Amino acid sequence: MAGISLMKNKLEAYKCYANEALHFKLVRHESDLEDDRTTFHPDMTHQLFGDQESIFGYKDLEIQLYYSAAKLTTYLHIKYFDKVSPKRFEGVSADDVIKILAKEMPPGYYTNLDNFVAALPKDANFKPFGDLLHSYTVYKDGKDRKFEIYKISIDCPGFRDYHERLQTFLLFFVDAASFIDVDDDKWSFYLVFEKYRDNGNRMYAIVGYMTVYNYYAYPEKVRPRVSQVLIMPPFQRQGHGAQLLQTFYNECYKRNDILDITVEDPSENFQRLRDFVDAKNCSKLESFQPRHLHNGFSDEMMKEAQEKLKLSRKQARRVYEILRFKVTDPSNIKQYRKYRLDIKKRLNLPFQKNGRDFQKLQRALHPDELNATLSCMSIEQRHCYLEKAFEEHVEMCRHVIERLAESVD
Ligand SMILES: CC(=O)SCCNC(=O)CCNC(=O)[C@H](O)C(C)(C)COP(=O)(O)OP(=O)(O)OC[C@H]1O[C@@H](n2cnc3c(N)ncnc32)[C@H](O)[C@@H]1OP(=O)(O)O
334 lines ligand 1 (CB under 6 A): no
Residue of 36, 31, 26, 107 lying closest to 65 (CA atoms)? 26
Q: What is the pLDDT of residues 185-203, one digit of tens each?
A: 999 999 999 999 999 999 9
Compute the distance from residue 31 Cα to the ligand 1 centre, in Å.
Answer: 28
Compute the distance from residue 406 Cα to the ligand 1 centre, in Å.
Answer: 15
* Averaged pLDDT for residues 104-109: 96
Compute the distance from residue 237 Cα to the ligand 1 centre, in Å.
Answer: 5
Q: Which CATH number fits domain 127-265: 3.50.50.60, 3.40.190.10, 3.90.480.20, 3.40.630.30?
A: 3.40.630.30
Q: What is the pLDDT of residues 141-159, one digit of tens each?
A: 999 999 999 999 999 999 9
* Averaged pLDDT for residues 291-305: 97
Q: Which atom of ligand 1 is nearest to the CA of 240?
A: 23
Judged by DSSP in three states, 354 sits in coil
269 lines ligand 1 (CB under 6 A): yes
Q: Is residue 242 within 8 Å of 250, Cβ to Cβ?
A: no
Whole-Å CA distances, 391 to 127, 238, 343, 385, 398: 48, 28, 11, 10, 11
19 lines ligand 1 (CB under 6 A): no
Cis peptide before 219 (omega within 30 of 0): yes
Classify burial at 20, counting beta carbons within 10 Å of its beta carbon; exposed 0-12, middle 13-18, buried 19 or more: middle
Task: For 169-200, give the DSSP string.
Answer: GHHHHSTT-----TTSTTEEEEEEEEEEEETT
Q: Compute the radius of gyration of the chain from its Cα atoms.
A: 26
356 pLDDT exceeds 70? no
Residue nearest (by alpha carbon) to ligand 1 atom 31: 237
More reliable by pLDDT, 165 or 362: 165
Record the pTM: 0.93
Confidence of residue 276 (pLDDT cuts 50, 70, 90): very high
Q: Which of 30, 34, 251, 264 is catalytic?
A: 264
Pocket residue to mutate for ligand 1, from 44, 225, 238, 263, most atoms within 8 A of Cβ = 238
Q: How large is the ipTM? A: 0.99
Q: Is residue 215 within 8 Å of 176, Cβ to Cβ?
A: no
Q: Is 268 a catalytic residue?
A: no
Q: Give the CATH fold of the 2-124 domain.
A: Histone Acetyltransferase; domain 1 (3.90.360)
CATH of segment(s) 266-409 = 1.10.10.390
Domain boundaries, given as residue ranges, for the chain: 2-124, 127-265, 266-409
Averaged confidence pLDDT in the chain:
94
Q: What is the pLDDT of residues 235-260, one digit of tens each?
A: 999 999 999 999 999 999 999 999 99
Q: In what order do the strands lie in the sheet with 187-198?
A: 131-140, 143-152, 187-198, 201-217, 221-231, 262-263
Compute the distance from residue 314 Cα to the ligand 1 centre, in Å.
Answer: 22
Residue of 272, 231, 263, 250 lying closest to 401 (CA atoms)? 272
Q: What is the pLDDT of residue 10?
A: 80
